[in-house]
Amino acid sequence: MTSDTEPLTWHAIVRQALKDNDVRLVTYVPDNVLRPLIDGLHADPFFTCFPTAREEEAVGIVSGAAMAGMRGIVLMQTSGFATLPNALASLAVAFQIPVLLMVSERGTLGEFNPGQAIVCRTMRPILDSMGIEHHTMSRLDEAAFIADRTMRQAFATRWPACLILSPLLTGKRS
């Protein structure tokens, strides 16, 4: 896991979980909360990390790579997740492809934008309706366990999975 000298941050924990599960491909539509994670992934030669124009496109790329032997994850914000139901239902779920999703959760715990707040309420029902397991990471002491086990299960069961980053986790500076 993370070395003794490295400060324990949520993004270092996520990066290590990705490595431990051999997830080498990272596609994202950026988000300010995800910035330290994205910066760390770009800086680490273990990862192939790049932005896409839309989240659907990122799901397509990760699906193709997964079928060709390279594991991947899509990073996005809540509003980006809301564009995904068709791609998830008809590709990742229908074909049983282990596409990992990580959503930085906006629209709750102090949101100022009413649009974001409403979009946020659609996220978990959409995931539940497709039987996509999701876990909300809200505590630093649980983050490594949740991230690693969720990824492990997604690949073992060949099913997409979603990790939701709560402001409780990402809103604190560590």
Partner 1 sequence: MTESRDNLHVMNRAALTKRLADRLTQREAVIGGIGNSNWDLWGAGQRPENFYMLGSMGLAAPIALGVAIAQPTRRVFALEGDGSLLMQLGCLSTIAAQAPKNLVLVIWDNGIYQITGGQGTPAAAARTDFVAIARASGIASSQWAADEAEFDALVQRALTTDGPHVIGVRTDQEPGRNQTDRDPIRFRESFMRAMADKVGTG
List contacts with partner 1 (CB under 8 A). Answer: 25, 48, 50-54, 56-70, 72, 86-87, 89-91, 94-97
Smallest gap from residue 95 Cβ to partner 1 (A): 4
Taking alpha carbons only, the member of 64, 84, 74, 70 closest to residue 27 is: 74
Element (H, E) at 71: strand 71-77
Considering beta carbons, is residue 25 or 143 the nearer one to partner 1? 25
Q: What Rg do the C-alpha atoms of the chain give, in angstroms?
A: 15
Torsion angles phi and psi, residue 137, rounded to 5: -90, 115
Smallest gap from residue 83 Cβ to partner 1 (A): 12
Considering beta carbons, is residue 60 or 107 the nearer one to partner 1? 60
Smallest gap from residue 156 Cβ to partner 1 (A): 15
Smallest gap from residue 129 Cβ to partner 1 (A): 16
Cα 58-90-63 angle, rounded to 5 deg: 35
Considering beta carbons, is residue 66 or 76 the nearer one to partner 1? 66
Measure the CA–CA gap between 9 and 62, rounded to whole angstroms: 26
Taking alpha carbons only, the member of 155, 162, 167, 143 closest to residue 88 is: 162
Considering beta carbons, is residue 82 or 144 the nearer one to partner 1? 82
